[in-house]
Structure 1
Amino acid sequence: MLSFDGRVAIVTGSGRGLGASHAKFLAARGAAVVVNDLGGSAQGTGSSAAPAEEVVAEIVANGGRAVANFDSVSDNPEGIVRTAIDAFGRLDILVNNAGINQVHAFGPDILPSIKRHMEVHFFGTAGVTAAAWPHLIESGSGRIVNTTSPTLIGFPEQTPYVAAKGAIFAFTRTLAFEAAPVGIKVNAIAPTAATRMSDEADLPEEFKQFMRDNLPTSLVSPVVAYLAHEACAINGEVIQAQGGEAQRLVLGFNKGFTSKDLTPELVQEHLDEILDPATHVPFDRIEKQDLSAVGK
């Protein structure tokens, strides 16, 4: 069994939903956990100590070790990391899970919503990661698990949310290059699970019930736990996790079309070749990737 005895983890946004599931799973496997949650609404308003305190109480009641932290990931990432060091003396694992979702059709008034999503999702992820970085190096086998989304393929009235998740995808891929030489591995999940965000989303009630019946948070947390473990063998990967499924999510190139005399007309004429999925080749794993052809 993959044990986390002696390991210390921070899970942001872990007062409810996926984050709470991750925190409880890691604690049940032996990790000491900082349960971070501002305690606001799914839209990012308000605050309450109750969600984080309740998760900590449950972990402790089951024989685990946990402390609560109520800092905002975007306002005080250093405070979140300080809680781990003050309480447990070290930090080995960072699970960046905190997020919000404001459904908002694109238009002239969209920018505040985009900025707010970036503050929480991307800058929150980057900020806590930056604060944790030296401690994860000191750990000798630091692990970072970020949270992006399957909605990267596109989703109506979700431009702020999906754009922020796209930034996390790119952040994960490129930070992995800097992480490898210092003993850290950086990966991400793209989860789908029944949470308060899905319950409050503008989705058919039948689909919400399907999610509740088939996509529990408990079937995402095992993927997080593997990526957080010192035995994790991958770096820079994004794993889509839902309902017990685990799948690699990648970008890549296809063969496309080439002409040294390229014109708009040739693009139009050869569009089927340019878009042909049959010749698609995904990027290789970080440790094997040859960057010499990128951008050529």
Structure 2
Amino acid sequence: MAEPVHILVTGGAGQVGLALRRAAWPAEVVIHAPDHAELDITDPAAVAAAFARTPFKAVINAAAYTAVDKAETDREAAFAVNATAPGLLAAAAARSGAAMLQVSTDYVFDGSKSAPYVEDDAWGPLGVYGASKLAGEQAVLAAHPRAVILRTAWVLSPDRANFLKTMLRLAADRPALRVVEDQIGCPTSAADIAETLKTLTLRFLADPGAPSGVYHFVNAGETSWAGLARHILTLSAARGGPTATVEGIPTTDYPTPARRPANSRLATDKIARDFAIHPRPWQDAVAEIVDQLLTERAAA
């Protein structure tokens, strides 16, 4: 029997964390996904104790403070989870010889670029959330020379609160919705992010000299929030689910405490070149999630 390969997954109750736990890992892999009560990743002593108990071979940090607007008035908490904790995990992983993978975000950019962002474009976070995630990237790379940062955007899944589920919920109660049309990005399946993280992790376990650094992963293609809403509700209507008309509105008509990037598109050429990872179209990913949610609703 193969020796167990222990992998620490933080943020196991979030969209990406849940998808990582559901992923089809090799039989020898043991996924550890402690909740906050079991492991406070902002506490250096707790992190050290976790590594002392278990010989982790890899760490995937999918934990994040993701309340973008609340972060504007809760800076300390956002930086604790998004910046301090990743640095602690990366340092512990480096000391134990474990691989380190950190999930990050398009919000490290300001969205002013006219083309999709590449990995070495200049940073420019517009708010506390983006600044805290950028600080987390920097802490990880400083602590672990072979770490991987995986930036993604517009994450969707059948789990937890997200834009897709919100549109279906609102469409069940309202005949018309107003959705921002001047922000564009790449809708991305949490399951696809998890599969990418799994591929990268297994590659590093087999080949510690594999390429490392910053990578982007999003599903292929682009749309606006309003375009995504229309697509979701068209799919839902075709499957007998809730639907509504969608009116596109400018960002100025939907003010929020934190500014959002107008352009959240991320280029994925680098991850395709280095790891032969080729994202599927966002439309396919969205259809899969809508199908799952409506099937679950019909069975309830």
Aligned to 1:73: 41
Letter in 2 for 1:125: P
- 1:95 to partner: Cα distance: 0.9
Q: Secondary structure at the match of 1:33?
A: strand
- 1:147 to partner: Cα distance: 1.5
Change beyond 3 A, Cα 1:114–1:189: same
Aligned to 1:240: 216
- Within the candidate set 13, 16, 19, 2:14 is matched to 16
- What CA distance in whole angstroms lies between the structure 2 residues aligned with 1:163 and 1:77? 22
RMSD: 4.0
TM (norm. structure 2) is 0.52
Aligned to 1:168: 136
- What CA distance in whole angstroms lies between the structure 2 residues aligned with 1:94 and 1:125? 10
Q: Secondary structure at the match of 1:92?
A: strand
- 1:97 to partner: Cα distance: 1.4
Q: How many residues align?
A: 191
Aligned 1:262-277 pairs, distance under 5 A: none
Letter in 2 for 1:194: L
Unaligned 5+ segments in structure 2 are: 113-124, 171-176, 181-186, 222-269, 271-300
Letter in 1 for 2:162: S
Q: Secondary structure at the match of 2:31?
A: strand
- Answer whether contact 1:14 1:23 (CA < 8 A) is retained: yes
- What CA distance in whole angstroms lies between the structure 1 residues aligned with 2:64 and 2:70? 19
- 1:98 to partner: Cα distance: 0.7
- What CA distance in whole angstroms lies between the structure 1 residues aligned with 2:57 and 2:21? 14
Letter in 2 for 1:215: T
The answer to whether residue 106 in structure 2 is matched with residue 150 in structure 1 is: yes
- Answer whether contact 1:34 1:83 (CA < 8 A) is retained: no
Q: Which has the higher contact order (CA 8 A, sep 6+)?
A: 2
Change beyond 3 A, Cα 1:198–1:234: farther
- What CA distance in whole angstroms lies between the structure 2 residues aligned with 1:220 and 1:161? 20
- Answer whether contact 2:90 2:143 (CA < 8 A) is retained: no
Can you list the C-alpha shifts for 1:204-249, whole angstroms capped at 9, x where unaligned?
A: 97889xxxxx63211111221232222355444222212269xxxx
The answer to whether residue 214 in structure 2 is matched with residue 216 in structure 1 is: no
Aligned to 1:194: 156
The answer to whether residue 5 in structure 2 is matched with residue 7 in structure 1 is: yes
The answer to whether residue 31 in structure 2 is matched with residue 33 in structure 1 is: yes
TM (norm. structure 1) is 0.53
Aligned to 2:58: 93
- What CA distance in whole angstroms lies between the structure 1 residues aligned with 2:50 and 2:141? 28
- 1:101 to partner: Cα distance: 2.1
Change beyond 3 A, Cα 1:105–1:79: closer
- What CA distance in whole angstroms lies between the structure 1 residues aligned with 2:210 and 2:64? 25
Letter in 2 for 1:94: V
The answer to whether residue 55 in structure 2 is matched with residue 82 in structure 1 is: no
- 1:85 to partner: Cα distance: 4.9
Unaligned 5+ segments in structure 1 are: 39-68, 137-141, 180-184, 209-213, 246-281, 283-296
Q: Secondary structure at the match of 2:90?
A: helix
Aligned to 2:69: 104
Larger radius of gyration: 1
Question: Sequence identity of aligned pairs in percent?
Answer: 11
Letter in 1 for 2:78: H
Can you list the C-alpha shifts for 1:263-295, whole angstroms capped at 9, x where unaligned?
A: xxxxxxxxxxxxxxxxxxx9xxxxxxxxxxxxx
Q: Secondary structure at the match of 1:15?
A: coil
